[in-house]
Structure 1
Amino acid sequence: MQVKIINLEKIFYQNKVVSIVAPGLNGYFQILENHAPFISILKDGVLKLKPIYDRKDLEIKIEGGILQVKKNMVSIIL
């Protein structure tokens, strides 16, 4: 699935990933391919991405945001 992370200044990250683990208001949740349409508010924590072409996971410390899943496209606004 494609992920795009946007902050106030630019596109922070854009790539294909296998999974995303994100800090929601009620705890961490995971997004996998073919996930149902979904919108969540994110709280402070660590966003964990597993890139499809890289064996090393990517961890990004965030201070809240919004996450949307729609048709294997995940958009995250920080």
Structure 2
Amino acid sequence: MPFDMEINANEFKEKKLKVLASVPLKVIVKDETGKLVKEFDTQPSQMLYDLAFLTAEMVVEVHLIPGNPVEFYPVVNAI
């Protein structure tokens, strides 16, 4: 099941990422040049992730991690 999403930093009001997923997801934060700023995996038991370091030019990418069985599409929101 394909699932990739990209969220521009200007969509975040509180600089938090809300994730509802039954499997871990890969979160990649890049700057305006495409350089990696931060990368981490979410955990199904945690819903909110603090992205206080975001600047207006950054982009947040969210991807499925290959090999994890997905029961339902993840729900990811910029807060």
What TM-score, normalized by structure 1, do the two folds share?
A: 0.32
The structure showing larger relative contact order (alpha-carbon pairs under 8 Å, at least 6 residues apart) is: 2
